[in-house]
Amino acid sequence: MINLSTPIQELPKVGAVYVKKLKKFGIKTVQDMLFYFPARYDDFSEIISIKSARQKLGETVCVQGQITEIENTNTFKKYMAMTEAVIQDDNSEIKVIWFNQPYLVKSLKEDDFVCLAGKVSLYKEGIFLNNPSYERINEIGENEELTHTGRIVPVYSETRGVTSRWLRYVIKPLLYRFVEQIQESLPEEIIKKYKFLPIQEAVWQLHFPSTFSHADAAKARFSFEELFLIQLNVLKEKLKLMLKKSPACPMDAALMKKFTDSLPFLLTDSQKKCAFAILKDLEKTAPMSRLLEGDVGSGKTVVAAMAALSIAKNSHQVAFMAPTEILAKQHFKTISDLLKDFDIKVGMLTGKDARITKDGETFEISKKSFNGDLENGQIDVAIGTHSLIQKTVTFKNLALVILDEQHRFGVEQRDYLIKGKKLIPHLLSMTATPIPRTLALTVYGDLDLSLIDEMPKNRKKVKTIIVEPGQRKETHEFIKKEVKEGKGVFVIYPKIESQASKLKEAATKADGDPFSAVSGSFVPQNYGFNSLLSLPVNEVKALKEEYERLSKEVFPDLRITMLYGKMKAPEKERIMLDFKKGEIDILLSTSVVEVGVDVPRATIMMVEGAERFGLSQLHQFRGRVGRSDMQSYCFLFTTDPSMLNRKRLKALVESNNGFELAEKDLEIRGPGSLYGTQQWGIPDMAMQGLTNIFLVEKTRAAAKELLGKDPELKNYPELKERLKQFQTKIHFE
């Protein structure tokens, strides 16, 4: 018997080909299909006469009539088939053209009554209805059970072979048959408190809304529910973690004063505040889970070093993990220098090698020796990449894990590090990416937040300048002058992208016209993206071409080197060291390369194609310079005159506040592209909800209140089951 849990392959009209394609959307069961909600709606609810439609050139209209003629022809260059028809009502008639859909002559016949929704266009000899959605009806005036026209029509995210029309065709009968089987998952008190639609009505109104108000009400319910489930998930994980125990490591105030006195600079008030909160957390047996957030160069590593020192002096070990070998080696050098006067043995393990520092000297050792020293407790602070969580690596008494830009390192990985021992390590995660408050309260809701919101006193504000095409030569001359004074230059080039993607974007923006001018050719609207991508196209300048241009035409007298992702780690390390020592003048890199090493001599960040980066990413690039007392500059090269990009880039020029820029970036680009949240499996409506601080705070408060009364959700079995299903789709690790 078919029910909500029935696999979709058991449904009629859903064959093996569709099953495979639907899995891309996470649709495996009937319930998944019913919870696959539209991305937007087309408003075809107003049906007008053909005579009125003929007066609305360029507008999308919905009409009804009888087919008097229908046949297939070819376009003038024979690119594709055209299906031409004529429909008429009592007062008028209009020509209809469908592109590349020759099968329509088999499903639509002369004398059929149809409802059509499409754009009124001008082509050759007259007015016509361009590529309309269609639906057979019994007679003119019928609009009761329309699905694809004559109503507010749902439009879904699609993939090749799975269209919105097909999805409507499958989903609507399933709604009639199974919607009443969907169990309410939200607690009754929440539904009453916020006046939400019941779940069955909300599901129906999301797919086939009676009015836009009904659609908005359904969206509000599910935006709340999806964010509420995320909040329940992270808060339950936090409660679960609180049941575990970690080593208590009391703070030695005198030792911390000795450490800060040894520094060649003064800590900012913000650093002191964050360090104190972390050190007090480490004194507790409850596991710390804290996110230390601060702009590039704000001094997070020094705070982490204080935590590591406290742990080591309590006879426990620290694991410090970085995402790349370059950064692991930088942290190894920095931590070794900071702790050299405190009798702390620092080690480094990467995929390539192992090193230790002792009495201020660095030694290369075998991985076997490193692992032995670690297991025997001879290494106090182990720094490395994910090599630290391999089977061969065992800590004697790990008490703290420090992570650089790897916030979702979870309980399972922590458990793996201590291999089932009773005490789990504390966790300190660090990020230089400013996180908007909504994201911090939701995705990172299980982490306590510490914020370094001020820069060291001797740092000068980086001057950010938008460079117009006509100002390039002048800017290049300024850069040459800086290099002659011994300063270094970063050049960031956008990730290589083919011209084909621009054609695809242009086709998307064709806005229903039968033919669109793209790259000097007439490309029919329904030519299809695959056909577009098969057209002859030129690649955007590759990184190596840009290197050749800069070396020969722009900076022929300067030493320029490339850095890119496929280089081997030793080569990257050598290049970065040469750049740091001043043996390279200009370092050219794509955005995919981690360039977060500390190079005080670098005073210029030059970003090509700046309009193609988000605000937060540009702010990150800017943070790579200005790491000394010298004046630094960030030049944004752009050829895009659009107001949106000008507004974004102007915001960067006017503000050095990363948190303020992150909020603007979230507003402009959305959380998916901003933080890769799509990769975590966050549903669309929850993603949209992440831009609404009031909704986020409301769901968090509701989740806290519910878990406070019933941590195991024993009194809410439907909600508990829904959360279980939800957890299989989101993955925050």
Can you give the residue ranges of every domain in the chain? 46-150, 253-283+299-431, 463-497+541-655, 501-539
The residue that leads in pLDDT, 573 or 333, is: 333
Highest mean pLDDT among 173-187, 400-414, 589-603: 173-187
Residue among 592, 575, 619 nearest 298 (CA): 619
pLDDT, tens digit, 9 for 90 and up, residues 223-261: 999 999 999 998 998 898 888 899 999 999 999 999 999
Across all residues in the chain, what is the average pLDDT? 84
Task: Give the β-pairing of 515-518 and 521-524.
Answer: antiparallel
* Helix or strand (DSSP H, E) at 114: strand 113-123
Name which of 273-287, 563-577, 584-598 the model is least confident about: 584-598
Two tokens, residue 107: 């499903």
pLDDT at 540 over 80: no
Confidence of residue 675 (pLDDT cuts 50, 70, 90): low
pLDDT, tens digit, 9 for 90 and up, residues 312-362: 999 999 999 988 888 888 899 999 999 999 999 999 998 878 999 987 788
**pLDDT computed for residue 418 by the predictor:** 63
- Rounded CA separation 546/563 (Å): 12
In the block, tokens 């072979």 appear at 161
**pLDDT computed for residue 512 by the predictor:** 34
pLDDT, tens digit, 9 for 90 and up, residues 711-731: 999 999 999 999 988 887 776
The CATH T-level fold of domain 463-497+541-655 is: Rossmann fold (3.40.50)
398: β partners: 317
Confidence of residue 678 (pLDDT cuts 50, 70, 90): low
- Rounded CA separation 317/394 (Å): 11
**pLDDT computed for residue 495 by the predictor:** 65
* Domain over 253-283+299-431 is classified CATH 3.40.50.300: yes
| 224: phi then psi, degrees, rounded to nearest 5 | -60, -50
Confidence of residue 76 (pLDDT cuts 50, 70, 90): low
Confidence of residue 526 (pLDDT cuts 50, 70, 90): very low
The CATH T-level fold of domain 46-150 is: OB fold (Dihydrolipoamide Acetyltransferase, E2P) (2.40.50)
Q: Is 494 helix (H, G, I), strand (E, B) or coil?
A: coil
Residue among 529, 692, 729, 674 nearest 36 (CA): 729
Confidence of residue 296 (pLDDT cuts 50, 70, 90): confident
The pLDDT of 51-74, averaged and rounded, is 92
Give the pTM.
0.76
pLDDT at 605 over 60: yes
- Percent with pLDDT over 90 in the chain: 51
pLDDT at 408 over 80: no
- Rounded CA separation 364/175 (Å): 66
**pLDDT computed for residue 523 by the predictor:** 30
**pLDDT computed for residue 432 by the predictor:** 81
**pLDDT computed for residue 669 by the predictor:** 67
Q: Do domains 46-150 and 253-283+299-431 have the same CATH topology?
A: no
**pLDDT computed for residue 504 by the predictor:** 39
